[in-house]
Amino acid sequence: MRLERWFRKIKILRIRRIENLARNIDLISRNRASYASDYIVQLKREQEANRQYLTSNLLCNEQGESFSLQDLADRLFQILLFAALS
């Protein structure tokens, strides 16, 4: 779980850096978008659309078991995380 926490911290730092740069070049202003740049808003929309897609699509195996793509992605992430920590 330590590696997952580091990924999360790196992601947060990346988003903060992008937002700081957007403020510095006046892409974010009090009159226009005081809380988030267009980039971050679009990123959040895409992430939500991806999550909905993965959740709504199912795969079935030979035994007739059904799994959502989101469940499979979560399992794969855990396997890769475990492998990275080993």
Q: Which of 84, 54, 48 is nearest to 72 (CA)?
A: 54
pLDDT at 86: 67
Task: Look at the pTM and tell me if it is higher than 0.75.
Answer: no
Q: Which residue has the higher pLDDT, 4 or 14?
A: 14
pLDDT at 56: 93
> For 23-80, how does the pLDDT look when each residue is reduced to its tens digit (9 = 90+)?
777 666 666 555 667 777 788 899 899 999 999 999 998 999 999 999 999 888 888 8
Q: Which of 36, 34, 32 is nearest to 44 (CA)?
A: 36
